[in-house]
Amino acid sequence: MKYPLKEIVKLFDNPEVSGDDGVELSAIAAIDRAKPSDLTFLGNKKYAHLVPSTGAGAILLPRDYAGELPKNSTVVRVDNPSAELAKIGAIIEKALWPEIKPSTHPTAAIDPSAKIGKNVFIGPNVSVCEGAEIADGAVLQGNNYVGRFARIGEKAFLMPNSVVMDYCEVGKNSRLQPGAVIGSDGYGYEFVNGVHVKIPQVGKVVVEDDVEIGANTCIDRARFDKTIVGAGTKVDNLVQIAHNVEIGKGALLVSQVGISGSTKIGNYAVLGGQVGVAGHLHIGDGAMIGGQSGVNGDIPPKSYMRGTPPRPYLKAHKIEILIGHLSELFDRVKDLEKRLGISKKTFGSTRGSH
């Protein structure tokens, strides 16, 4: 199916169109792969050099884009191309995955003491245990396990094979991707008489409202009290959140982040992919930590850090550049020693004499 651009732009906020708004579009494509029947967009400045050569029928550009424009594409300027494209994606998503109608599959195992709200969907092979509560409009797609006295909030969405263990809570409008585990035991042992003795983990996990938990992410129940994921936080796939961690509101945790026990992550903090955080630390509100950093100390609010140990972003970048010149520096030092007639032994003894 093809749609005229002039109909598509009605979804956007104050679009500025330059070119033929009657061009018909049938797909969304990357800038460097787009054809005349495609819509594309510039969501990351690193791809700005591809804009002039795109073959797209139309392109969404930031309103402040000042680079060269494509010759054969209709240009639509908006405040945030990615956000506007998401509006189209939402319509496509509804067509691909129609709204799920409330029902309970005959293979579901629901304990008689469980409380099931209105307009709930419970799919095949779902287990809902003693005392659990499933609020209105929740969706449990299939093979889900909801433990004893666990609580699933209004319109929460549990994708296949996700697990919510005993006494844990998932807030309203929150979403668990396939294989997510909420409430696995925290990793705690004491070495006693030559044996690693397991410490009971008797707390719970509280996932607040509007949170997304990625596929195969594990959030451990607290040793006592709560492990908390704050409202609006988005957690990517393959993330490990240990016992008694507290994550604030609106934080972003990218894939393969690992957070050790009892660490606190502030509101709207951002942890890039594969960031590792030691235990009992504090990451301040709005702090940003670059990918693959190893955090072994507290991070101040609103700072931008990267590396192991983390340093301010620009300083870390400068150090990386200098490391790249180390071999050259050693060669220069060797040449200088040769010119001065300083042997390694002499140099060492001279340095030691001071």
Q: Which helix (H) or strand (E) holds 305?
A: strand 304-306
| Interacting residues of 217 by C-beta distance below 8 A, sequence separation 6+ | 177, 180, 181, 235, 236, 237, 238, 239, 240, 241
**The two structure tokens encoding residue 190:** 């004491």
DSSP for residue 11? G
Distance (Å) of CA 10 to CA 15, 34, 347: 8, 22, 75
Q: In terms of Cα–Cα distance, which of 237, 240, 248 is closest to 184?
A: 240
| CA–CA separation, 138 and 133 (whole Å) | 10
**One-character DSSP codes across 263-278:** -EE-TT-EE-TT-EE-
Q: In terms of Cα–Cα distance, which of 190, 251, 194, 186 is closest to 219?
A: 186
| Interacting residues of 259 by C-beta distance below 8 A, sequence separation 6+ | 239, 240, 241, 242, 245, 247, 253, 265, 271, 277
Q: In terms of Cα–Cα distance, which of 79, 83, 97 is closest to 15?
A: 79
CB 190 within 8 A of CB 173: no
In the residue annotation, 325 being an active-site residue is answered as no
Burial 107-135 (b: 16+ CB within 10 A, else e): ebebeeebebbeebbbbeebbbbebbbbb
Identify the three-state secondary structure at position 31: coil
105, 243, 280, 354: the active-site residue: 243
| CA–CA separation, 286 and 157 (whole Å) | 28
As annotated, the active-site residues are 243
